[in-house]
């Protein structure tokens, strides 16, 4: 898409623009350059996964473009990078008819199936050997895109193959899909291209972790996550899901009148993939292989199956296509699938088993999770015997009964999941699953808050919760006390060595020494791990505390917002909400946690035991203009949003304090500043500046 010299030029333009913007507001004469540069960086980031600038630099350029377009809306073009942004909630999706139906693929499961299919292909084409193009079968949601006069004009779901839904606004949230592409260079006036929208395994896991933090049931697999995401009515939410798209097929082409064009319309499937790649799409250009004869195809499929787990996204097989488009035409199609293509499906990661029992686990927040015990079955190399059923609603929705046959799926490194039960296989001995009314551990009555799906034990001294809180505190992403492990926490708790989190730092090692399985070496290791945990970065401690809805990302945000953990007690609900990704619900949970006396006492106890509550690992940007300086903003600033201003401080090496104190260097004052300004004036040591002066500090 971009040659080495184009890349160099664009990178130079980027630096020039960044330099200019730092000094003066952007001028409209650079608007086209800004757009080109932004498109280039989107391509580097979203298609190549190889960004050349930081997110902050990208945002700076993007905001400048936005500023210019807001000042003069006549300058906006439909393919401007700003035009992906959706406003408000969408209405119902309009039904659209596919001009050429989106057919399925014929399936094959082994070498014999492929050899059979190859024989038919040779018959139909009259060739002795057929040239194929093989590529991954992406496990996502099928889409169709129409470009007219180089502009993306429609994005639709596959639907039933004949009729789909218009999801153009949502499609624009997928940043690897260009809003415009130079099809005209190929003499193409209108084109329909097809592909698959995916969620990477990493994004899927992150998304499910977020759902789990909110006690919502996880999505079953990345495929469901992708297809569900495409049908969300709020495009902003779609943008947050970080979807990706592979485009692998040309549905139809309408040529333009122009006779001589720069390139020819492709004659083979592989050329079509190259065309898409060259126009900036993510096509399987680097994944595909052109192979003569079916033997090579079989070997390639096996090779790919062996490395399936190392890919960042899920694939469920390979697709083999006759490469020559003229031969494809000759072979034609059935009403169900083209004769020129076949899917080779990898070994299923599904199995059937019997649901034997349901056990109930109490988590650290008191949530009671039902867990299915099934007859153990091997799926994709792992034996599955226990599967979370999430909550009572899930059991009802899936109509699960004890004794039912169930379909179980385990996709890649994803947790196992019950896809469905088979009511048609019941013989009358199956039993309804009755959710308990009392905590299985402490017998406290269970409650279900309005609007939540989870039954909860509200007894915070419930043994199960205490133990789970200690286990979470210890865990790898939290304080990472190695050598402790879940089993030891349970054992030490039973023996009375552990009763709460602080007791982790007061273990009676003289007694542990006497226990079986604890040699001098393992005791030393455990002691060292406990000692090391005292100086873990602050965000780990925050995460370890197990505040509701506070996962690792939010813990990092909180850690960066203070220099000393108990300072969070001083943050108002409003201030908390100004932090990145902290909405009202999360802010309330954090606020409640730090207003609770018992939690503050817990922090004091931990500090007395040597746990560091200071932020010693706060990111320092050595190149920043504000290195080592502390700031606080008060009142309404004339142009900047407070959260943006705070981010600018941090991006330039400074830090934000939560209140006026002797540690504060600068108080940036806007309109209607109140008590903070008064306090700063009294202190004498604090420099009081305006937004303009602050912005000047950034420039110098």
> Does the footprint of ligand IVH cover residue 291 (CB under 6 A)?
no
- Mark the segment that binds ligand IVH (CB under 6 A) among 130-138, 185-193, 427-435, 681-689: 130-138
> Does the footprint of ligand IVH cover residue 277 (CB under 6 A)?
no
> Does the footprint of ligand IVH cover residue 466 (CB under 6 A)?
no
20 phi/psi in degrees, rounded to 5: -60, -45
Radius of gyration from C-alpha coordinates of the chain: 30
> Does the footprint of ligand IVH cover residue 198 (CB under 6 A)?
no
Please list the residues that pair with 80 across neighbouring strands.
none
- Least CB distance to ligand IVH at residue 339 (A): 10
Three-class secondary structure of residue 334 per DSSP: coil
- Least CB distance to ligand IVH at residue 245 (A): 11
In this chain, which of 43, 93, 138, 186 binds ligand IVH, going by CB under 6 A?
138
> Does the footprint of ligand IVH cover residue 204 (CB under 6 A)?
no
In this chain, which of 117, 248, 360, 631 binds ligand IVH, going by CB under 6 A?
248
137 vs 556, which CB is nearer to ligand IVH? Answer: 137
- Mark the segment that binds ligand IVH (CB under 6 A) among 336-344, 432-440, 446-454, 495-503: 336-344
125 phi/psi in degrees, rounded to 5: -90, -20
In this chain, which of 18, 85, 103, 441 binds ligand IVH, going by CB under 6 A?
103
308 phi/psi in degrees, rounded to 5: -50, -45
In this chain, which of 196, 213, 244, 691 binds ligand IVH, going by CB under 6 A?
196
- Mark the segment that binds ligand IVH (CB under 6 A) among 110-118, 135-143, 486-494, 674-682: 135-143
Among candidates 444, 443, 423, which has minimal Cα distance to 432? 423
DSSP β-ladder status, 401-402 and 446-447: unpaired
- Least CB distance to ligand IVH at residue 223 (A): 10
* Strand ranges for 29-162 from DSSP E: 95-97, 106-108, 131-138, 141-148, 151-157
Reported as type and span, the H/E element at residue 123 is helix 111-125
Classify residue 548 by its DSSP letter.
T
217 vs 284, which CB is nearer to ligand IVH? Answer: 284
**From 22, 87, 122, 137, active-site residue:** 137
- Least CB distance to ligand IVH at residue 519 (A): 54
- Least CB distance to ligand IVH at residue 103 (A): 5
> Does the footprint of ligand IVH cover residue 142 (CB under 6 A)?
yes
Classify residue 353 by its DSSP letter.
E
> Does the footprint of ligand IVH cover residue 192 (CB under 6 A)?
no
- Least CB distance to ligand IVH at residue 338 (A): 5
507 C-beta neighbours (distance < 10 Å), count: 18
136 vs 218, which CB is nearer to ligand IVH? Answer: 136
Half-sphere exposure of 349 (CA within 13 A, CB side): 23
| CA triple 527-532-533, angle to 5 deg | 100
Contact 613, 599 (CB under 8 A): no
Give how many residues touch ligand IVH by CB under 6 A: 14
In this chain, which of 42, 69, 135, 314 binds ligand IVH, going by CB under 6 A?
135
Give residue 376's region: left, alpha or beta (phi > 0; psi -120 to 50): beta
In this chain, which of 36, 77, 83, 104 binds ligand IVH, going by CB under 6 A?
104
- Least CB distance to ligand IVH at residue 246 (A): 7
Residue partners of 262: CB distance under 8 A and separation at least 6: 185, 186
> Does the footprint of ligand IVH cover residue 281 (CB under 6 A)?
no
C-alpha 651 chain-centroid distance: 23
81 vs 338, which CB is nearer to ligand IVH? Answer: 338
- Mark the segment that binds ligand IVH (CB under 6 A) among 132-140, 508-516, 571-579, 615-623: 132-140
Residue partners of 574: CB distance under 8 A and separation at least 6: none
Three-class secondary structure of residue 62 per DSSP: helix
In this chain, which of 41, 84, 98, 137 binds ligand IVH, going by CB under 6 A?
137
Residue matched to tokens 């906006």: 76
DSSP β-ladder status, 666-669 and 687-689: parallel
Among candidates 358, 454, 348, 349, which has minimal Cα distance to 404? 358
- The end-to-end CA distance of the chain, in Å, is 37
In this chain, which of 44, 249, 349, 364 binds ligand IVH, going by CB under 6 A?
249
Tell me how far CA of residue 635 lies from CA of 42, 274, 616, 640, 651, in angstroms.
36, 55, 29, 11, 22
334 phi/psi in degrees, rounded to 5: -90, -175
> Does the footprint of ligand IVH cover residue 105 (CB under 6 A)?
yes
Residues 59-98 as x/- pattern, contact with ligand IVH by CB under 6 A? ----------------------------------------
> Does the footprint of ligand IVH cover residue 343 (CB under 6 A)?
yes
Residues 253-272 as x/- pattern, contact with ligand IVH by CB under 6 A? --------------------
- Least CB distance to ligand IVH at residue 333 (A): 8
In this chain, which of 68, 219, 319, 322 binds ligand IVH, going by CB under 6 A?
319
Contact 417, 220 (CB under 8 A): yes
- Confirm whether 476 is a catalytic residue: no
124 vs 206, which CB is nearer to ligand IVH? Answer: 124
Contact 205, 221 (CB under 8 A): no
- Least CB distance to ligand IVH at residue 138 (A): 4
Reported as type and span, the H/E element at residue 669 is strand 666-669
C-alpha 597 chain-centroid distance: 35
281 vs 543, which CB is nearer to ligand IVH? Answer: 281
Residue matched to tokens 């600033």: 637
- Least CB distance to ligand IVH at residue 330 (A): 15
Give the Cα separation of 88 and 75 in Å (integer): 22
In this chain, which of 178, 218, 338, 416 binds ligand IVH, going by CB under 6 A?
338
334 vs 596, which CB is nearer to ligand IVH? Answer: 334
Give the Cα separation of 321 and 354 in Å (integer): 39
* Strand ranges for 141-235 from DSSP E: 141-148, 151-157, 163-165, 188-198
12 vs 326, which CB is nearer to ligand IVH? Answer: 326
| CA triple 435-439-445, angle to 5 deg | 90
- Least CB distance to ligand IVH at residue 318 (A): 8
For ligand IVH, the nearest residue by Cβ is 142
Name residues contacting ligand IVH, limited to 396-455 (CB under 6 A): none
Contact 116, 349 (CB under 8 A): no
314 vs 468, which CB is nearer to ligand IVH? Answer: 314
> Does the footprint of ligand IVH cover residue 346 (CB under 6 A)?
no
- Least CB distance to ligand IVH at residue 319 (A): 4
Residues near ligand IVH (CB under 6 A) are: 103-105, 135, 137-138, 142, 196, 248-249, 319, 338, 341, 343
The catalytic residue positions are 137
């Amino acid at each position: 898409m971009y040659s080495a010299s184009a890349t160099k030029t664009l990178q130079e333009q980027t630096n020039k623009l960044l330099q200019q913007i730092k000094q003066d507001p952007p001028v409209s004469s650079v608007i086209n350059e800004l757009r080109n540069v932004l498109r280039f960086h989107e391509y580097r980031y979203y298609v190549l996964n190889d960004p050349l600038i930081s997110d902050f630099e990208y945002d700076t350029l993007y905001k400048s473009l936005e500023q210019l377009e807001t000042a003069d809306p006549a300058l906006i073009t439909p393919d401007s990078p700003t035009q992906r942004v959706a406003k408000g909630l969408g209405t119902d999706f309009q039904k659209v008819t596919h001009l050429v139906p989106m057919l399925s693929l014929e399936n094959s499961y082994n070498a014999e199936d492929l050899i059979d299919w190859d024989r038919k292909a040779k018959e139909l084409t009259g060739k002795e050997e057929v040239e194929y193009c093989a590529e991954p079968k992406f496990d996502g949601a099928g889409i169709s895109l129409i470009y007219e006069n180089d502009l993306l004009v429609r994005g639709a779901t596959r639907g039933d193959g004949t009729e789909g839904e218009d999801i153009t606004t949502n499609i624009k949230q997928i940043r690897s899909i260009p809003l415009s592409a130079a099809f005209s260079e190929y003499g193409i006036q209108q084109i329909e291209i097809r592909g698959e929208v995916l969620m990477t395994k990493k994004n899927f896991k992150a998304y499910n972790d977020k759902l789990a933090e909110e006690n919502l049931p996880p999505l079953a697999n990345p495929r469901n996550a992708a297809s569900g995401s495409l049908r969300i009515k709020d495009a902003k939410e779609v943008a947050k899901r970080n979807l990706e798209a592979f485009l692998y097929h040309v549905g139809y082409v309408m040529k333009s009148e122009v006779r001589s064009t720069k390139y020819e319309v492709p004659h083979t499937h592989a050329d079509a993939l190259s065309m898409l790649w060259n126009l900036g799409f993510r096509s399987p250009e680097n994944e595909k292989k052109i192979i003569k004869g079916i033997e090579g195809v079989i070997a390639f499929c096996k090779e790919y199956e062996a490395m399936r787990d190392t890919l960042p996204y899920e694939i469920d097989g390979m697709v083999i296509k006759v490469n020559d488009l003229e031969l494809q035409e000759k072979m034609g199609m059935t009403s169900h699938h083209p004769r020129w293509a076949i899917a080779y499906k990898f070994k299923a990661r599904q199995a059937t088993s019997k649901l034997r029992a349901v056990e109930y686990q109490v988590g650290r927040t008191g949530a009671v999770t039902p867990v299915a015990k099934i007859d153990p079955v091997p799926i994709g190399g792992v034996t599955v015997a226990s599967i979370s059923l999430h909550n009572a609603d899930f059991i009802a929705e899936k109509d699960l009964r004890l004794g039912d046959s169930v379909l179980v799926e385990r996709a890649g490194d994803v947790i196992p999941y019950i896809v469905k039960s088979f009511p048609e296989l019941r013989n009358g001995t199956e039993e309804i699953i009755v959710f308990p009314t009392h905590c299985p551990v402490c017998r406290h009555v269970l409650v279900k808050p309005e609007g939540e799906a989870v039954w909860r034990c509200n007894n915070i001294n419930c043994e199960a919760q205490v133990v789970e809180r200690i286990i979470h505190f210890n865990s790898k992403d939290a304080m990472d006390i190695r050598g402790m492990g879940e089993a030891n926490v349970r054992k030490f708790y039973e023996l009375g060595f552990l009763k709460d989190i602080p007791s982790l730092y007061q273990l009676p090692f003289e007694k542990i020494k006497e226990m079986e399985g604890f040699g001098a070496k393992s005791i030393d290791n455990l002691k060292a791990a406990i000692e090391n945990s005292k100086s873990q970065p602050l965000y780990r401690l925050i995460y370890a505390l197990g505040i509701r809805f506070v996962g690792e990302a939010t813990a990092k945000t909180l850690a960066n917002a203070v220099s000393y953990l108990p300072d969070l007690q001083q943050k108002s609900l409003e201030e908390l909400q100004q932090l990145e990704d902290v909405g009202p619900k999360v802010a309330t949970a954090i606020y409640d946690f730090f207003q609770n006396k018992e939690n503050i006492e817990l922090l004091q106890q931990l500090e007395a035991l040597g746990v560091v509550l200071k932020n010693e690992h706060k990111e320092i940007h050595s190149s920043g203009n504000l290195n080592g300086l502390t700031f606080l903003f008060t009142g309404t600033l004339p142009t900047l949003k407070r959260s943006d201003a705070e981010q600018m401080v941090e991006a330039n090496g400074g830090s934000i304090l939560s209140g006026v104190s002797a540690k504060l260097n600068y108080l940036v004052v806007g309109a209607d500043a109140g008590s903070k300004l008064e306090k700063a004036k009294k202190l004498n040591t604090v420099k009081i500046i305006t937004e303009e002066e602050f912005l000047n500090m950034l420039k110098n």
